[in-house]
A and B are shown apart, each in its own frame.
Chain A
Amino acid sequence: MTDSQSPQTGSLGGAERRPPPPPPGRSFNWREALAPSLISLISIVVVFGVLAWVITSAEQWPRIKLQFFNVDAMIAAFPRVLQGFWINMRIWLIVLACILVLGIALAVIRSLRAPWFAPFRLMVILYIDLFRGLPVLLLVLLFGFGIPALNLPGLPSSSLFWGAVAMVLSYSAYVCEIYRSGIDAVHEGQWAAAKSLGLTEWQTMIYAVLPQAVRNVLPAMMNIVVALQKDVALLSIIGVRDAVREAQIYTASTFNYSSLIVAAGLFLLATIPMARLADYVTQRDRARRLQVGG
């Protein structure tokens, strides 16, 4: 404590004694300003140039180019892949909405403390153990093919519907745990304060704890949102013609893989803005919180 204070007082004393240093001159040193950018530019050109040279000098490169980066094939495959991608996007948004709601409901049930909630807490724990413990791929197969085969009256037989249900069930287990970590991270004093104001446990959860919890987990949640966007492609195994399946159909028919590159491009187009948005939201939240804290 004293150690860190002494140099501070010393520098303050120095500033009082000496006149302030003159303001920096307007002269601009071009060499100093440009050198770093020039070096990084040269470095980029050299590294990527060597990489490109190594890749394109491979014996198989002309064939790989024909099979993976064939512009004609890309153009031919594009309309169908785009159509499939539109299906991806719609499934993603609908499934996401269901997951966020189901996840928060499960997390709230698991975090309520009243003793008579015990059986429900137990149910949620079992649910999470079950659905987080099974590979999503397996769930999609079991739900997509298994349940419709029962031919139960009144239930839809669409593989798209049951595949989406499998995604919701699986992802809700993860999302529930993320919410719960956010709820647990809310300070114990908040519960005590709410109780002292006469709020019931339920009211405390809704008005005091949840709003803070959701803010706590925002970055982690954005991560799940991006992951889900790509995992929607799993539904292709039960016959849903999403972007990946459309690309595979083109590949299987022509043996040309350029369609996969098209699908990859579309996914990047969608996920990179999401990632930047996630960064932005996290940054803003952090700045706001630091201000409040200071």
Chain B
Amino acid sequence: MSERTAFRRGSIVLLSLLMTVFTQAFAEERTTMDPRLVTPGKLTVGTGDPVYPPWMLNNDPASGEGFENGLVYELAAEMGFDADDVVWVGQTFDQAIAPGNKPYDFAIQQISVTEARKQIVSFSRVYFQPEKAVLALPGNTLENATSYDDLRDARWGATIGTTDNDYLVNVLGVTEAAIYNEQVDVFQAMRAGQIDGTLISLPTALYVTAVQVPEANIVALLPPDENDRGHGLLFEYNNPLIPWVDDALTAVIDRGVVEDLKAEYLIADPDLPIITE
């Protein structure tokens, strides 16, 4: 009798213990204390170092001023994090795509989603699809370009890691563009007359022509490349957080946050000529 009670009591204790462990583990998923986070309690976000406007202003992701960090803070709030719990990790593009464990939950760095890249890393849903802009200095032959054939004859430059070169190859058929490490090198080459122009996503181009290289002009817009799905958040391959972040991102996009941020930071000039063939 007493043995039985003892056994019963013991099994009840064990069962309730197991229950609490399970429910706790499940209860903690999709909360700020989710054990699958790099640092539970914090949302660790990777980005470029330095960061460029208009994606992030003043080289300071933590300010929340800019299209991408603005989006991240909205996303964090949707997931239940305080603004103070968002931790930024600066990295180069090469570090972002390097194999192995990543020191952040996800990275945001205008990274384009493509099929080939999906074999190596995982992405969230796409949050933005920019148009491409052609940038050239005044007096360049590119100013008079009206067709893809005109564009093809120019000497092109682009930054490595962007899909700008993919666009040149896949859409325009330009295979010998000069490829530089940094965006600033592209403009230096343009000033030195080594290249005629560059292809760049429209928001970056607007900022560059307004602030960094005011003498350069946007001479034309080009339609998006269909192989380039647009910008997404980058995750380590098959990161279990993806469904949670995707749900939050969907909620944020449905609330119109991305449209607001676009209107605030990524304003396009409606009078630019568009070349489509």
Residues of A whose CB lies within 8 Å of any CB of B are 60, 63-64, 66-68, 145, 148-149, 151, 157-159, 237-241, 245, 248-249, 251-257
Contacts of A239 in B (CB 8 A): 157, 178-180, 185, 189, 194-195
Shortest 4 CB-CB distances between A and B: which pairs? A239-B178, A148-B192, A254-B116, A255-B120
Contacts of A245 in B (CB 8 A): 160, 179
Within 8 A of A (CB), among B256-271: none
In angstroms, Cα B195 to Cα A249, docked, is 18
In angstroms, Cα B162 to Cα A274, docked, is 37
**Which of the residues A60, A151, A238, A255 comes within 8 Å of B97, measured between beta carbons?**
A255
Min Cβ gap B167→A in Å is 11
In angstroms, Cα B184 to Cα A145, docked, is 11
A256 touches B180 (CB 8 A): no
B180 touches A237 (CB 8 A): yes
B160 touches A252 (CB 8 A): yes
Contacts of A253 in B (CB 8 A): 114, 116, 163, 165-166
Flag whether B121 is at the interface (Cβ < 8 A): yes
Q: List 10 A-B contacts (CB under 8 A).
A: A66-B120, A67-B120, A149-B192, A237-B180, A239-B179, A252-B97, A252-B162, A255-B121, A256-B116, A256-B119
In angstroms, Cα B116 to Cα A256, docked, is 8
Within 8 A of A (CB), among B141-170: 157, 160-163, 165-166
Residue of chain B at shortest CB distance from A60: B100
Within 8 A of A (CB), among B87-128: 93, 97, 99-100, 114, 116-117, 119-121
A255 touches B116 (CB 8 A): yes
Min Cβ gap A100→B in Å is 28
Min Cβ gap B141→A in Å is 16
Contacts of B63 in A (CB 8 A): none
Min Cβ gap A69→B in Å is 12
Flag whether B173 is at the interface (Cβ < 8 A): no
Question: Interface residues of B toward A: which range?
Answer: 20 to 34
Residue of chain A at shortest CB distance from B112: A253
Residues of B whose CB lies within 8 Å of any CB of A are 93, 97, 99-100, 114, 116-117, 119-121, 157, 160-163, 165-166, 176, 178-181, 185, 188-189, 191-195, 237
In angstroms, Cα B237 to Cα A252, docked, is 17
A148 touches B178 (CB 8 A): no
**Which of the residues A66, A238, A240, A257 comes within 8 Å of B119, measured between beta carbons?**
A66
Chain A-chain B contacts (Cβ-Cβ < 8 Å), number: 83
Min Cβ gap A78→B in Å is 15
B192 touches A249 (CB 8 A): no
Contacts of A66 in B (CB 8 A): 119-120
B99 touches A64 (CB 8 A): yes
Contacts of B193 in A (CB 8 A): 148, 151, 157
Contacts of B161 in A (CB 8 A): 252
In angstroms, Cα B181 to Cα A100, docked, is 31
A254 touches B188 (CB 8 A): no
In angstroms, Cα B159 to Cα A249, docked, is 10
In angstroms, Cα B99 to Cα A20, docked, is 70
Min Cβ gap B104→A in Å is 16
A157 touches B192 (CB 8 A): yes
Given A148-B193, A158-B194, A159-B189, also A252-B121 (CB < 8 A): no
**Which of the residues B119, B179, B189 comes within 8 Å of A145, measured between beta carbons?**
B189
Contacts of B194 in A (CB 8 A): 148, 157-159, 239
A63 touches B185 (CB 8 A): no
A248 touches B160 (CB 8 A): yes
Residue of chain B at shortest CB distance from A239: B178
Min Cβ gap A238→B in Å is 8
